[in-house]
Chains A and B, each alone.
Chain A
Amino acid sequence: DGGITQSPKYLFRKEGQNVTLSCEQNLNHDAMYWYRQDPGQGLRLIYYSQIVNDFQKGDIAEGYSVSREKKESFPLTVTSAQKNPTAFYLCASSEQANSGNTIYFGEGSWLTVV
Chain B
Amino acid sequence: GENVEQHPSTLSVQEGDSAVIKCTYSDSASNYFPWYKQELGKGPQLIIDIRSNVGEKKDQRIAVTLNKTAKHFSLHITETQPEDSAVYFCAASMYAGKSTFGDGTTLTVKP
Contacts and interface: CB of A to CB of B under 8 A. Distances in A.
Contact of A90 (B31, B44, B46): B44
Nearest to B52: A100
B96 A94 contact: yes
Interface residues of B, number: 27
Nearest to A3: B43
Interface size class of A (residues with CB under 8 A): 20 to 34
A42 interface: yes
Contact of A107 (B34, B42, B96, B99): B42
Interface of A: 4, 6, 31, 33, 40-43, 45, 48, 50, 56, 90, 92, 94, 96-108, 110
Across the A-B interface, give the 5 residue pairs with the lowest CB-CB distance, nearest first.
A100-B32, A97-B97, A105-B43, A98-B95, A94-B96
